[in-house]
Amino acid sequence: MENVLRSRRVVTPGGVRPACVAVDGGRIAAVLPYDTAPPPGTPVTDLGDDVLLPGLVDTHVHVNDPGRSAWEGFGTATLAAAAGGVTTLVDMPLNSLPPTTTPAALDVKRAAARGRVHVDTGFWGGAVPGNEEELRPLHDAGVFGFKAFLSPSGVDEFPPLDPAGLDAVATRLAAFDGLLIVHAEDPGRLARAPQPAGPGYADFLASRPPAAEETAIGTLLETVRRRGVRAHVLHLSSSGALPALAAARAEGLPVTVETCPHFLTLTAEEVPDGATEFKCCPPIREAANRDALWAALADGTLDCVVSDHSPCTADLKVPDFGTAWGGISSLQLGLPAVWTEARRRGHTLTDLARWMSAGPAALAGLRAKGAIEPGRDADFAVLAPDETFTVDPAALHHRNPVTAYAGRTLHGVVRSTWLRGRRITDHGTPLTGPTGRLLERT
Ligand SMILES: [Zn+2]
């Protein structure tokens, strides 16, 4: 074995226990009793009471590179990920130029990422009107699935699908067992809602009503029932859609659901006027909605928690909810933000690992990721779960120091992050060059 990590608190799929984790060839070779004496000469890292978590898997990241690399980029995003305990991310197909809607565009994106990523990085493809013939070639080129919008995406080059277009894409994907991931807000409901303008958060919230999510999810579930496509609901905000989703799963439909740190930790009531760093679509809703999302995580209706890190330059966050760019930057903060609220509500580190590592790894079919068990990659986050820190945006690796978490005190300090058996960051400082790999669906 190459090296051994020893901790009093190793988070395994079966629970938290003292253990020695033996690493060989970048993979976990064995999870051994705590007192195991490794062979003479084997380097041992004793983590004491610090927690050894499986490295987080964040399947919802907008790197925006190439094309909008002033907003973020592969170097900065993946360094932020590493500093935050995320060892694998999957990049969204839009906001970059070109969007990842053809194999040629995927090649452009891979060329932009190659040699620059600090964590393992994969790519989603996009399903837009007119690219039906590109879906199978993109699948064969290794994308993990296909993102579609049902309402305007915010960028003209990535238009939404109408119901007929959604049906056609679902039919195509079902033929090769592709995965459809959906931004589910209904355009009709959004058009009939009051339009947002000005600095007041209540007006913005009224412009993105829960019914927009609930109607779009209803449309999606009907499509899944009709076509048999595997589907995933992105960034669920409205708890009103949970009963339909739970019923669909009880019925056996192949549907999974994610939510995001901001929906679980922030509330509409606390957003100050003009504070558009809190703007995202669908929006952060009221405290009671947040409670219902936590209940759905606990009962398994929600499968995973991923960041939807969607940054922009500071000048686009004007203090007007109608015109500001929508997106929340949290790639480096997802782990402590969710843990802060989870521990307060009595959830465990095992829950955290399930929601933020195993769940997203399963979504993307990343069988080498997502758990501390023999055969998986030796990707770890070392966490001091009881220590606190106050978020200083300037100390984050995100390209633009804008975040809704600024000034908040969070529990959970990421001491170090390990990728395939090598420590890549120490207290947020990189220890190596970009050693991440580009991943393909297997
Ligand atoms: Zn997104």
Please count the structural domains in the chain: 1
Threshold 0.75, pTM exceeds = yes
Report the separation in Å between the CA atom of 309 and the middle of ligand 1, taken as the mean of its atom positions. 7
**Alpha-carbon torsion, ordered 59, 61, 62, 64, to 10 deg:** -100
Report the separation in Å between the CA atom of 6 and the middle of ligand 1, taken as the mean of its atom positions. 37
DSSP structural state of residue 162: P
Report the separation in Å between the CA atom of 305 and the middle of ligand 1, taken as the mean of its atom positions. 13
> Which alpha helices (H) appear in 349-431, and where do they start and end?
349-353, 359-364
**Alpha-carbon torsion, ordered 411, 79, 441, 115, to 10 deg:** -170
Residue 173 lies in a domain: yes
Alpha-carbon span 372 to 426, nearest angstrom: 20
321 lies in which domain range?
55-368
Q: Ligand 1 (ion): which residues have CB within 5 A?
A: 308
Q: Specify the pairing of strand 120-123 against strand 86-91.
A: parallel
Residue 197: per-residue pLDDT:
87
Which regions of the chain are under pLDDT 70? none
**Dihedrals phi, psi of 25, to nearest 5 degrees:** 60, 30
Residue 168 lies in a domain: yes
Report the separation in Å between the CA atom of 10 and the middle of ligand 1, taken as the mean of its atom positions. 31
Residue 29 lies in a domain: no
Residue 439 lies in a domain: no
Residue 261: per-residue pLDDT:
98
pLDDT tens column, 55-70: 999 999 999 999 999 9
> pLDDT above 90 covers what percent of the chain?
98
Residue 166: per-residue pLDDT:
98
Residue 31: per-residue pLDDT:
98
Element (H, E) at 419: strand 409-419
Which tokens hold the place of 121? Answer: 């990085």
pLDDT tens column, 274-315: 999 999 999 999 999 999 999 999 999 999 999 999 999 999
Residue 250: per-residue pLDDT:
97
Residue 258 lies in a domain: yes
Burial class of 412 by CB neighbour count within 10 A (0 to 12, 13 to 18, 19+) = buried
Residue 22 lies in a domain: no
Report the separation in Å between the CA atom of 407 and the middle of ligand 1, taken as the mean of its atom positions. 24
Can you say whether the dihedral through the CA atoms of 293, 372, 120, 122 is positive or negative?
Answer: negative
Residue 105 lies in a domain: yes
Residue 422 lies in a domain: no
Residue 236: per-residue pLDDT:
98
Report the separation in Å between the CA atom of 18 and the middle of ligand 1, taken as the mean of its atom positions. 37
Report the separation in Å between the CA atom of 32 and the middle of ligand 1, taken as the mean of its atom positions. 39
Residue 69: per-residue pLDDT:
93
Report the separation in Å between the CA atom of 7 and the middle of ligand 1, taken as the mean of its atom positions. 35
Report the separation in Å between the CA atom of 234 and the middle of ligand 1, taken as the mean of its atom positions. 8
Distances (CA, A) of 437 to 241, 340, 412: 37, 31, 27
Alpha-carbon span 202 to 221, nearest angstrom: 30
Report the separation in Å between the CA atom of 82 and the middle of ligand 1, taken as the mean of its atom positions. 19
Alpha-carbon span 429 to 90, nearest angstrom: 22
Nearest to 340 by CA among 261, 224, 396, 286: 261
Report the separation in Å between the CA atom of 54 and the middle of ligand 1, taken as the mean of its atom positions. 24
Report the separation in Å between the CA atom of 26 and the middle of ligand 1, taken as the mean of its atom positions. 31
Alpha-carbon span 20 to 337, nearest angstrom: 28
Report the separation in Å between the CA atom of 60 and the middle of ligand 1, taken as the mean of its atom positions. 6
Angle between helices 242-250 and 287-299 (to 10 degrees): 10
Alpha-carbon span 152 to 113, nearest angstrom: 27
- Looking at residue 84, which CATH number applies to its domain? 3.20.20.140
Residue 319: per-residue pLDDT:
92
> Which alpha helices (H) appear in 314-408, and where do they start and end?
334-344, 349-353, 359-364
